[in-house]
Structure 1
Amino acid sequence: MAAQIVFIVILTAAVYLFGKNVAKVRRNILLGRDVDRSDNPAKRWGIMARVALGQSKMVKRPVAAILHILVYVGFVIINIEVLEIMVDGIFGSHRVFAKPLGGFYSMLIGGFEVLALLVLAACVVFLVRRNVIKLKRFSGTEMTAWPKSDANYILITEILLMGAFLTMNASDYKLQLLHFGHYATAGSFPIGAMIAPLLPNSTEALVITERVCWWFHIIGILAFLNYLPYSKHFHILLAFPNIYYSNLNKKGKFTNMDSVTGEVKAMLDPSFVPEGTEISRFGAKDVTDLTWKNLMDAYTCTECGRCTSVCPANITGKLLSPRKIMMDTRDRLTEVGNDIDKHGKDYNDDKSLLDNYISREELWACTTCNACVEACPVNINPLEIITEMRRYVIMEESQAPASLNNMFGNMENNGAPWKYSQSDRLNWALNN
């Protein structure tokens, strides 16, 4: 009974803390401007099924794709057993689903063990890729000590959890063979049976090993759950809604501000009366000027570096890294959220995403080619953030680079980006 009470207290505390942390992330995301992404639900469900469940954009890098699918599918399916562990923990039972499921239970446990071994192996390979081979896309100025450690913490945790799961089953299997206590024959343990000879023969030692691994496994999962909101691995949960709310417009299509569109229409047609739209700011200077979808993108970023690895500006040595844009947005949003918790929603720390986190050199290095958008495995769009910040610099501060100011002047005077007058357009075309 004491063990049951302890388990219920730990479970309740873990669920409460997770809910509290998720609510805070949700609050932070909703600090962004509203944007309608409710159109065409059938198409959105299809994209989510293909990209999130089917991992369709991962397969462009086959080795990483296979390893990721093993970890993703294996970890999700193995954690189905968490339901049984929770029931056992609350009611003091042991493998409560064994009798009702019969032979199917043996097949499940056997499958879980094989998947656990594959997950463990994949995590070891991931660790080697990051820390021994040191793939280039896992490095960069933004990949400081914490981002690198975060990835390693998760991989090591998954290895430990899978190891505890297999050792728990091996101890259970050996106790079943000894017909000890309540360890009645339940399940098939193909991997556990291979580990069992390495364990002690003493029933007391086996029970201790089984119980320690049982507690470590479930507490580790609950701790992992509460670590997610602080980690890049929050994409495990956010990838699905983030992909569902993807931008369905063609890549590169810019959004127009309704207020500006109304003013232009009024200039062209004196009879047109624009709707009274309040203009708070042109473009984005800080995270609260971005849309909630941009902010969800920031929390969903996996820091995998695929976007940066294909960015032509970054490849040619420019300062821009699309991954850094997303990481900076998330860090700034977290800072704003913490300030709200400490000082209230009206607090101003005199900082902004522009300049304090993202430099203007980074913004103007972008070629708007959409390579980063295409490469992201969870449909994140760094380009939207970049263009909104550029819009602020131009429309609010009038601080566009000289080359752009020349183009703007030519557009105004000649109706084209070039310096030639409209009457000379045909001559220019024929000569080129």
Structure 2
Amino acid sequence: MQYLPNILFAILLIIGIGFFVKNIKKLKRNINLGKDIDRSDNKSERWKNMAMIAMGQSKMVRRPIAGILHIVVYLGFIIINIEVLEIIIDGLFGTHRALSFMGSFYSFLIGSFEILAFLVLVSVIIFWIRRVIMRIPRFWNKEMKGFPKNDALYILYFEMVLMSLFLLMNAADLNFQIKNVGNPISQYIFPLLSDNPPVVLHYIEKSAWWLHIAGILVFLNYLYYSKHLHILLAFPNTFFANLNPKGQFTNDKNVTKEVQLMMDPNADPYAAPVEGEEDVVPEKFGASDVTDLNWVQLLNAYTCTECGRCTSVCPANQTGKELSPRAIMMKTRDRLEEVGNNIDKNGGEFKDDNKQLLNDYITPEELWACTTCNACVEECPVNIDPLSIIMDMRRYLVMEQSAAPQELNMMMTNIENNGAPWQYNQMDRLNWKDEE
């Protein structure tokens, strides 16, 4: 019976970490369903982006209030969880504050953790006020219903509870409070508990301790199902982000070759391809489902924070169009999860479900509303690129289904026949100069 708590703790730890590893493997499998793309170039620029954007939060602070509060929560939550190391040691070996042998440095650490916990608690409450009471519009778009809306609130409540449990755990530790070192916040909570006998304080402390570590393990495993997966994925997402100038779109080599042949009357259509540049005809032009997208686009979908900054700056959305870049990413992730679950249920093979990303999740109306202005890409705090998905799906509509809007079909017909987007014969182009 003496070692029962240690055994229970070890079991809880193994189950929590084991389930987390299982979900990470599934996450990796789902992302790898995407087509291959090489993002290994310019590593120095990529490391810089990851340091500045993911770790340094440089794009978050463009909106100072939310940005600064987010930095407090992000740094506070990460740093405070260093305390988890001591909790694991205490839980496995039955010790109490195993790292206290570090003396004054330990007091400094715990004191810093308490201050950060308090700041995180305050910041999270402000976030809750902004979301629930002030009802900032980007948090209440039509796609933010059901779980997406509640998910953000669940995380806020999680963080409130975890920070409160950490402070309560310290405040109920009688020996820790008697020393009065490293307790800048919990010392003000202690008087609320001090009337209780030591045995009651001990049970309060142990209850808070168990709930705190259990809460952390639950939170860790909840991440996979939550938009807060970006806590982990923001780093690889910013590293593998597209470094090309915004507005530079990718071209299929086969299509480019055909256009070049059409424009060069001396080109030999039967010429052998240059060694190393053999043409590979794609199975499909563009994308109609998640498996037609590349793995970075699928990583983007899982990294989306659902903050709505992209949608708030989208000119199409602002004028009442159906398009929401945030919804594009959320729908892509939902479809990818559906495909992943299909594979799990069918022994590792995908069974055709007669559904796809196009039409069943994302409508052509949404895709054609996009102005390709790149505002969403520029605004995203973790370098997500909704536009690349939109363009790949447009490519499918045009090249596979000939389903471009009438205006675009007319323009392409005019370019083919007249060499310009306008419905004027080439011979009539200079007629304007003869007009008085």
How far apart are residue 102 of structure 1 and its match? 1.8
- Residues 335 and 430 (structure 1), Cα distance of their counterparts in 2 relative to 1, 3 Å cut: farther
Distance 1:67 1:400 in 2: 44
Question: Counterparts in 2 of 1:118-267, with a 5 A limit?
Answer: 118-172=119-173, 174-176=174-176, 185=179, 187-199=181-193, 200-265=195-260
Question: Counterparts in 2 of 1:85-96, with a 5 A limit?
Answer: 85-96=87-98
How far apart are residue 323 of structure 1 and its match? 0.4
Distance 2:365 2:256 in 1: 29
Distance 2:288 2:315 in 1: 25
Question: Counterparts in 2 of 1:279-358, with a 5 A limit?
Answer: 279-343=282-346, 344-358=348-362
How far apart are residue 186 of structure 1 and its match? 8.8
Aligned to 1:273: 272
Aligned to 1:412: 416
More deviation in 200-209 or 153-162?
200-209
Question: Counterparts in 2 of 1:12-161, with a 5 A limit?
Answer: 12-99=14-101, 101-161=102-162
More deviation in 305-314 or 339-348?
339-348
Structure 2 unmatched runs, 5+? none
Distance 1:252 1:258 in 2: 18
State the AA in 2 paired with 1:84.
E
- Residues 427 and 41 (structure 1), Cα distance of their counterparts in 2 relative to 1, 3 Å cut: farther
Residue by residue over 1:368-420, the C-alpha shift from the partner in whole angstroms, topping out at 9 and shown as x without a partner, is 00011011001000000001000000000001111000110111112222223
Distance 2:33 2:199 in 1: 55
How far apart are residue 193 of structure 1 and its match? 0.7
Distance 1:372 1:73 in 2: 26
State the AA in 1 paired with 2:36.
D
What is the root-mean-square deviation in Å for CA atoms of aligned residues?
1.6
- Residues 177 and 141 (structure 1), Cα distance of their counterparts in 2 relative to 1, 3 Å cut: closer
Distance 2:177 2:413 in 1: 85
Distance 2:417 2:373 in 1: 28
Contact 2:377/2:386 (<8 A) preserved: yes
Name the count of aligned residue pairs.
423
- Residues 195 and 407 (structure 1), Cα distance of their counterparts in 2 relative to 1, 3 Å cut: same
Distance 1:96 1:352 in 2: 54
Q: Does 1:403 align with 2:407?
A: yes
Contact 1:311/1:372 (<8 A) preserved: yes
Residue of 383, 387, 392 corresponding to 1:383: 387
Residue by residue over 1:114-169, the C-alpha shift from the partner in whole angstroms, topping out at 9 and shown as x without a partner, is 00000001111111111111100001121111111100000001000000000001
Distance 1:217 1:259 in 2: 57
Residue by residue over 1:352-373, the C-alpha shift from the partner in whole angstroms, topping out at 9 and shown as x without a partner, is 1000001111011100000110
How far apart are residue 426 of structure 1 and its match? 4.7
Q: TM-score, normalised by structure 2?
A: 0.94
Contact 2:343/2:351 (<8 A) preserved: yes
- Residues 414 and 109 (structure 1), Cα distance of their counterparts in 2 relative to 1, 3 Å cut: same
Distance 2:388 2:426 in 1: 33
Distance 1:362 1:177 in 2: 59
The DSSP-based 3-state class of the residue aligned with 1:327 is helix
Q: Could you tell me the percent identity over the aligned residues?
A: 58
- Residues 207 and 40 (structure 1), Cα distance of their counterparts in 2 relative to 1, 3 Å cut: same
Aligned to 2:373: 369
Distance 1:304 1:298 in 2: 13
- Residues 219 and 281 (structure 1), Cα distance of their counterparts in 2 relative to 1, 3 Å cut: same
State the AA in 2 paired with 1:171.
A
How far apart are residue 424 of structure 1 and its match? 4.0
Structure 1 unmatched runs, 5+? 179-184
Contact 2:34/2:291 (<8 A) preserved: yes
Residue by residue over 1:81-125, the C-alpha shift from the partner in whole angstroms, topping out at 9 and shown as x without a partner, is 1111111111111111111x2211111111100000000011111
- Residues 378 and 399 (structure 1), Cα distance of their counterparts in 2 relative to 1, 3 Å cut: same
State the AA in 2 paired with 1:189.
N
- Residues 232 and 103 (structure 1), Cα distance of their counterparts in 2 relative to 1, 3 Å cut: same
How far apart are residue 265 of structure 1 and its match? 4.6
Contact 1:8/1:90 (<8 A) preserved: yes
Distance 2:221 2:138 in 1: 28
Contact 1:306/1:375 (<8 A) preserved: yes
How far apart are residue 187 of structure 1 and its match? 4.9
